[in-house]
């Protein structure tokens, strides 16, 4: 397994020499094996580790996991940082508990990355996580981008175990006599991801022994398709947008000359490059396309950003639309 993970890291250029790597340490088997593996590898490669544990405080005994992680990191002489959910600025939960927990973790990881000038955050996602994520997104009606699922590197985040099976992880832990925590909520099928892991995936594997191999093959095709579409969208973006007064301006006729399949991708790139905070959704992209195709002069797309049209071009501006008060025509006023 050590050789397998080493080759995967090298193939995908996941860790640079001289860098610092934050490792998300939950205390479960995946993150424990990840930290131990990276600790072993750093004796051959020149990089530094920081272990970070996020205590969601959802279980009364969650403090035990935090203590285990601290002691495990110390046994490897790896610096340890603990963060608690009660310290989080994310107070409002509008979605699933799983998504809320993910947002808390990412918020803390990225805050610590900024404070330590770190550009790499390693997570313990493995091959079965990839399968769960694919079917989770399929159920929720994801696009090709969503079905491409988890990548070895996405921004700051790397996943060195992504091609490693759960069986290999457990064997590695047993071989090295490494303890780990068991999260009782992992067996609670009321969470969709757990239901997929406990019920759906075993059923698919029992239906056809070729499931693992064929799933990986299909996922590779989807990821290759997504990579092609990303390149195509980037080329299209350069034809449709240009810089004007330090902002990106869209050429509306050029936008509609591009294949409609690319429209949502172009809008996504536009919003991201202009730094507009938003939740990606089909309805938002449809809304913007409709505005670009009609005669409106301006449109509020988020509480703090609006779109403005001038002739055949449009641009994004930060602020609120103000309703104009129409002054009455003096000729229509009653005479005294």
Domain with CATH 3.40.50.620 in the chain: 2-207
pLDDT per position as a tens digit, 224-262: 999 999 999 999 999 999 988 788 999 999 999 999 999
pLDDT per position as a tens digit, 13-64: 999 988 999 999 999 999 999 999 999 998 777 899 999 999 877 777 778 9
**Residues of the chain above pLDDT 70, percent:** 92
3-state secondary structure of 43: coil
Q: Tokens standing for 278?
A: 């938003």
Please state, in angstroms and rounded to a whole number, the distance separating the CA atoms of residues 101 and 96.
9
Q: Within 10 Å of residue 98's Cβ, how many Cβ atoms?
A: 13
Burial (CB count <10 Å: 0-12, 13-18, 19+), residue 336: exposed
Q: Tokens standing for 238?
A: 């350069």
Rounded-to-10 torsion of CA 1, 69, 136, 273: -100
Does the predicted model carry a pTM greater than 0.85? no
* CA angle centred on 136, ends 8 and 208, rounded to 5°: 75
What value does the mean pLDDT of the chain take?
Answer: 88
Is 2-207 a domain of CATH 3.40.50.620?
A: yes
3-state secondary structure of 205: helix
Q: Within 10 Å of residue 318's Cβ, how many Cβ atoms?
A: 12
pLDDT per position as a tens digit, 149-170: 889 999 999 999 999 999 999 9
Q: Tokens standing for 28?
A: 């479960």
Please state, in angstroms and rounded to a whole number, the distance separating the CA atoms of residues 174 and 191.
28
pLDDT for position 191: 80
User: At residue 325, does pLDDT exceed 70?
Assistant: no
Is residue 115 within 8 A of residue 185, CB to CB? The reply is: no
Q: Which fold has domain 240-318?
A: 3.30.465
Which residue is listed with tokens 């641009």?
Answer: 315
Q: Tokens standing for 234?
A: 């980037």
Domain with CATH 3.30.465.60 in the chain: 240-318
- What order do you get walking across the sheet with 80-84 strand by strand? 80-84, 48-55, 20-24, 120-122, 157-158, 153-154
pLDDT for position 218: 95
Backbone angles phi, psi at 23, to 5 degrees: -115, 120
């Amino acid at each position: 397994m050590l050789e397998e993970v080493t080759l995967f890291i090298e193939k995908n250029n996941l860790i640079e020499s001289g860098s610092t790597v934050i490792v998300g340490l939950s205390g479960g088997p995946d993150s424990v094996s990840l930290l131990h593996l990276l600790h072993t590898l750093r004796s051959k490669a020149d990089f530094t580790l920081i272990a970070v544990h996020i205590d969601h405080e959802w279980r009364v005994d969650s403090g035990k996991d935090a203590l285990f992680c601290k002691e495990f990191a110390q046994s490897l002489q790896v610096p340890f940082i603990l963060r608690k959910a009660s310290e989080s600025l994310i107070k409002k939960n509008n979605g699933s508990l799983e998504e809320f927990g993910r947002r808390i973790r990412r918020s803390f990881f990225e805050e610590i990355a900024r404070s330590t000038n770190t550009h790499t955050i390693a997570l313990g996602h493995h091959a079965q996580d990839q399968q769960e994520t694919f079917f989770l997104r399929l159920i929720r009606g994801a696009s090709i981008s969503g079905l491409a699922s988890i990548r070895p590197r996405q921004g700051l985040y790397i996943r060195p175990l992504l091609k490693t099976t759960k069986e290999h992880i457990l064997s590695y832990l047993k071989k090295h006599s490494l303890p780990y925590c068991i999260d009782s909520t992992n067996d609670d099928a009321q969470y969709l991801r757990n239901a997929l892991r406990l019920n759906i995936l075993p059923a698919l594997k029992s239906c056809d022994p070729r499931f693992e191999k064929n799933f990986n093959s299909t996922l590779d095709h989807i990821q290759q398709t997504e990579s092609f579409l990303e390149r195509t969208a980037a080329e299209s973006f350069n034809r449709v947008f240009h810089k004007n007064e330090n902002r990106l301006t869209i050429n509306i006729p050029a936008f509609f000359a591009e294949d409609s399949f690319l429209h949502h991708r172009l809008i996504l790139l536009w919003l991201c490059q202009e730094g507009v905070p938003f939740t990606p959704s089909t309805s938002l992209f449809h809304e913007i396309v409709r505005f670009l195709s009609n005669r409106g002069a301006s449109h509020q797309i988020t509480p703090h950003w609006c779109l403005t049209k001038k002739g055949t071009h449009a641009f994004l501006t930060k602020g609120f639309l103000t309703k104009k008060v129409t002054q009455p025509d003096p000729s229509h006023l009653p005479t005294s």
